[in-house]
A and B are shown apart, each in its own frame.
Chain A
Amino acid sequence: MVCLTELQQKFGSQIVESHFRDNRRIDVPASTLLPLLTSLKTDYGFSMLVDLTAVDWLEYDGATDRFSVIYLLLNMDSGERLAVRVPVNLPEAVLPSVYGLWRGADWMEREVWDMFGISFSGHPDLRRILMPEEFDAFPLRKDYPLKGRGERHNFPVITRSGS
């Protein structure tokens, strides 16, 4: 088990812990993210990054930040799980990339960039992954409409006699 006080001693007291059902989460500021994750991996044995995702808080009552990015970690030996949540705000939504720690973060970070427009500094190849390169919105942001802005029908029509 990761001890919270130990982490607070190392990385400052802004680290907050919370529980819900069997999920254990810690909230950290963006500045200590990379050292914290490095230490979680090397000292505490969180060898697997299960998932990396983001949430847009634009329409959530009482939210203070625009986004949070969530790192779900797993200790392969003990089976312990831990979620690390870090707030991100516009205009410069940038976080350090964890590609160096877990190779699995590669596509997950690209997906977060593609869907939310949060970029990761130090990622070797941060391109769009799911949407076409020319697409210039971030579809999972709450201010993007479900049915899009007409991009889906921006194509030429082929008729039977013309083909």
Chain B
Amino acid sequence: MAVGLPENIFITKLDAAANWARSNSLWPMPFATACCGIELMATAASRHDLARFGAEVMRFSPRQCDLLIVAGRVVMKMLPVLQRIWLQMPEPKWCISMGACACSGGVFDTYAVVQGIDRFIPVDMYVPGCPPRPEQLLQAVMDMQAKVRRTGTVMGREFAIRDMPAGPAPFDSDERYRIEDTRLVQLGGFSAAATSAGRGATQG
């Protein structure tokens, strides 16, 4: 303190100050759809106590939150809701994708389940497991804090450069082959729902 600053005054970078504040007051928005939501509850409840890490202020309104925790599978009917909630959250915001289903569809490789939310919304942190143990989620929250501290900027420059989707293209090659296949089968045979295949395929 040779410069002669008065006591209780620190010099730091604005970014570092903002990151310190942001990382220690993450307000999660629990988007709990399925079984992982119960583990999310367990993380916040008596034994594991998320409050120890400064992230217990669960708010169910997206306007008040900055950490979206997607816990559970997201299906066709739910995805637009998820997107809207993500868009409603104010900046800066982060997203944790909790559980195999949210990350990749998990055991549900079926017609209704979106195979990983990162195809449609940006994701910062993935937590594997079905369901992840509460300890894993705690670790993810701590990692998230470390990441905010490491990469954050006041103006959100680290977000602006991420202009590519986080996950694979919605219609990856596998899916496109399969759609083509079913369409061929349909053209040859029954045509009860040929239109639906058409709609799906033109998107790819």
Direct contact of A and B (CB under 8 A): yes
Chain A contact residues, CB within 8 Å of chain B: 131-132, 135-139, 143-163
Q: Is the interface of A mostly helix, strand, loop or mixed?
A: loop
Whether A150 pairs with B175 at a CB distance below 8 angstroms is yes
Contact present for B160 and A150 (CB under 8 Å): no
User: Cβ of A159 and Cβ of B163 under 8 Å apart?
Assistant: yes
- Other A-B pairs beyond A152-B76, A153-B200, 4, CB < 8 Å: A148-B110, A150-B176, A150-B179, A161-B160
**Which A residues are in CB contact (< 8 Å) with B80?**
155
Chain A, Cβ-Cβ closest to B110: A146
CA A143 to CA B189, docked complex, whole Å:
10
Enumerate chain B residues within 8 angstroms of A158, measured Cβ to Cβ: 83, 86-87, 120-122, 165
Pick from B76, B109, B115, B170: contact of A157, CB below 8 A: B170
Query: In the complex, what residues of A have CB within 8 A of residue B195's CB?
Result: 136
Nearest B-chain residue to A117, judged by Cβ: B192
Nearest CB of chain A from residue B128's CB, rounded to whole Å: 21
Given contacts A136-B193, A143-B190, A158-B86, contact A150 B122 (CB under 8 A): no
A137 in contact with B162 given A145-B182, A150-B179, A155-B79 (CB within 8 Å): no
B45 CB–A CB distance under 8 Å: no
Give the shortest distance, in Å, between B204 (CB) and chain A (any CB).
Answer: 7
Cα distance A139–B166 when bound, in Å? 30
Task: Decide if A152 touches B182 in the complex (CB within 8 Å).
Answer: no
Contacting B197 at CB < 8 Å: which of A135, A146, A149, A160?
A: A149
Among B75, B122, B171, the residue within 8 A (CB) of A163 is: B122
Q: CB within 8 Å of A: which of B171-204?
A: 171, 175-176, 178-179, 182-183, 190, 192-193, 195-197, 199-201, 203-204
Interface size class of B (residues with CB under 8 A): 35 or more
Cβ < 8 Å to A, chain B residues 107-124:
109-115, 119-122
> In the complex where A137-B193, A158-B83, A159-B165 touch, is A153 in contact with B171 (Cβ < 8 A)?
yes
Q: Which residues of A contact B86 (CB under 8 A)?
A: 158, 163
Which B residues fall within an 8 A CB radius of A? 75-77, 79-80, 83, 86-87, 109-115, 119-122, 159-166, 170-171, 175-176, 178-179, 182-183, 190, 192-193, 195-197, 199-201, 203-204
Give Cα A143–Cα B188 distance, bound, in whole angstroms: 13
Contact indicator B203/A160 (Cβ below 8 Å): no
Note all chain B residues with C-beta closer than 8 A to A132.
76-77
**Residues B170 and A153 in contact, CB atoms below 8 Å apart:** yes
Contacts of A138 in B (CB 8 A): 193
B163 touches A150 (CB 8 A): no
Cβ-defined contact, A157 with B163, below 8 A? no
Closest to B174 in A: A147
